[in-house]
Structure 1
Amino acid sequence: MHSVIAKGARRLVLALGVAMLSACATLMPEQEGSRLVGQPQAAVQAMFGPPTDVFPLRDGTTRWIYSKQPMGQYAYGADFDRNGNLTAFRNMLSTPELYKAQVNTWTKRDVAEHFGMTRLPVSYFPRMRNEVWSYRFRHEDVWPSLFHFYFDDAGVLRRTQITPDPLYDPDERRLF
């Protein structure tokens, strides 16, 4: 009888430990991901689950994106070397990362590889002849905002824009 209780207690402690580890990965993904640097892809997937996007990059490395879009404000990038070991884990939708986009140089492919595929509706402005991809993020880690990428018909990034996120505008949330 005593051994049955001990087994049950061990299982409970193990389950609580797994739940706490999962909670840490959910609440502090950058810190937890950074601790996995040097580990294989399997360890990252065990911690965070399957990625939302996978991109084999031109240099032979791979980037996994864990996007919280369309409603969330984060997309985490897990970069792997050619051997499949994690080299970096960071929020790709931070202000410094978004400012890395190179107007007149980057293409849709570059934006997708860096930030993940957009999960917000794509807009097209026929007079401008621009397709616009938008991503939610926290500008300077404070203000709920949208970062917009404007592509010409050839798929080249021609301009970017930051606007307030109407999802967080109290006037836009009123029910009529």
Structure 2
Amino acid sequence: MTKNLGQIDQEAQYKGNGSIIQILKHFRTGFRTRLAHPESIAQNMKPSSRLIILASAVFLSACATMFPQAVAVGDSEADVIARRGQPTYRYQDGKDRLLEYKMGPWGQRTYMARIGPDGRVVSFEQVLTTQKFATIKVGEATKNDVLKTIGGPSETSYLPLRDLEVWSYPYKEADVWNSLMHVHFDRSGVVQQMMNGPDPRFDPDRRFPFSMMR
């Protein structure tokens, strides 16, 4: 039986549509299988996709660390820990408790939460500031006083010629300049000098490989 060109085109189109239908059915079946077994999605996921998901999780975690939830006066200690995590250190100041939170990629911020005897926040402030440093009295303040005022140092050193221990605190002077405050203690642990200067980590001439040229 001779077929005309119209019939041939119709049959070809039908076969083509049939192939497309089979493909769609196969895709639908596979999609349902993946919904029923989500673990197969992770197993078949390309390495690049996994890296993207991992990077996204790290980014969200970093954002949570750099931009934590606010703490308000009157919040409970449990609220502070829920929003900020466990403190880097705890201090006792009379009947109050101090929770220290070191923050920032360069350690330029330290928040101190003061918890009253009733377990509620009395104050919550960033303590690495010029104003806070000014409250430390040379010749009177002890190491314990410094810890309760501005928290623990980012770095410690010793000056053998002067026989002084130095605690260094990176901070943003006037919220602009990358600086270091050095607190000097004598052998008895009393502050003898407060001295600030530029933070060498932000000096391009001191960064590798430029530092090798000096």
Indicate the TM-score class for this superposition, using the shorter chain for normalisation: 0.7 to 0.9
User: Which deviates the most, 69-78 or 138-147?
Assistant: 69-78
- The structure showing larger relative contact order (alpha-carbon pairs under 8 Å, at least 6 residues apart) is 1
Question: Which residue is equivalent to 1:143?
Answer: 177
Checking the alignment, whether the CA contact within 8 Å between 1:63 and 1:77 is kept in structure 2 is yes
Q: 1:126 aligns with which of 160, 163, 171?
A: 160
Confirm or deny: 8 A CA contact 2:66 2:103 kept in the other structure.
no
Secondary structure in 2 matching 1:102: coil
Confirm or deny: 8 A CA contact 1:40 1:86 kept in the other structure.
yes
Residues 46, 28 of structure 1: alpha-carbon distance in 2 compared, 3 angstrom cutoff: closer
Task: Kindly tell me the number of residue pairs found equivalent between the two proteins.
Answer: 151
* Matched residue SS, 1:171: helix
Query: Is contact 1:76–1:90 with CA below 8 Å preserved after alignment?
Result: yes
Q: Say if 1:70 and 1:105 are closer, same or farther in 2 by CA, change over 3 A.
A: farther
Q: Provide the residue aligned with 1:96 in structure 2.
A: 131
Unaligned stretches of 5+ in structure 2?
Answer: 1-59
Which residue is 2:79 aligned to? Answer: 43
Matched, 1:157 2:200: no
Please report how far the alpha carbon of residue 37 of structure 1 lies from its aligned counterpart in structure 2 after TM superposition.
Answer: 1.1
Alignment match of 2:99 (pick from 64, 69, 73): 64
Q: Quick one: distance in 2 between partners of 1:173 and 1:117?
A: 26
What is the distance in 2 between the residues matched to 1:25 and 1:80?
22
Percent of matched pairs sharing the same residue: 33
The CA distance in 2 between the partners of 1:25 and 1:135, in whole Å, is 20
* Structure with the greater alpha carbon radius of gyration: 2
CA contact (8 A) 1:69 1:135 kept: no
Residue ranges of structure 1 left out of the alignment (5+ in a row): 1-19
Match of 1:27 in 2: 67
Greater percentage in helix: 2
Per-residue CA deviation, residues 31-73 of structure 1 (Å, 9 max, x unaligned), is: x12xx21011000000000000100102x11111101378320
Aligned partner of residue 148 in structure 2, secondary structure = helix
User: 1:70·1:135 contact (CA, 8 Å) conserved in 2?
Assistant: no
Deviations 1:13-35 (A, max 9, x none): xxxxxxx9x95773366xx12xx
TM-score by length of 1: 0.79
Runs of at least 4 residues off by over 4 Å = 22-25
8 Å contact from structure 2 (residues 154, 170) kept in 1: no
Letter in 2 for 1:118: P
TM-score, normalised by the number of residues in structure 2: 0.65
Other-structure match for 1:9: none
Amino acid aligned to 2:178 = P
Instruction: Give the distance between the partners of 2:153 and 2:177, measured in 1 at CA.
Output: 20
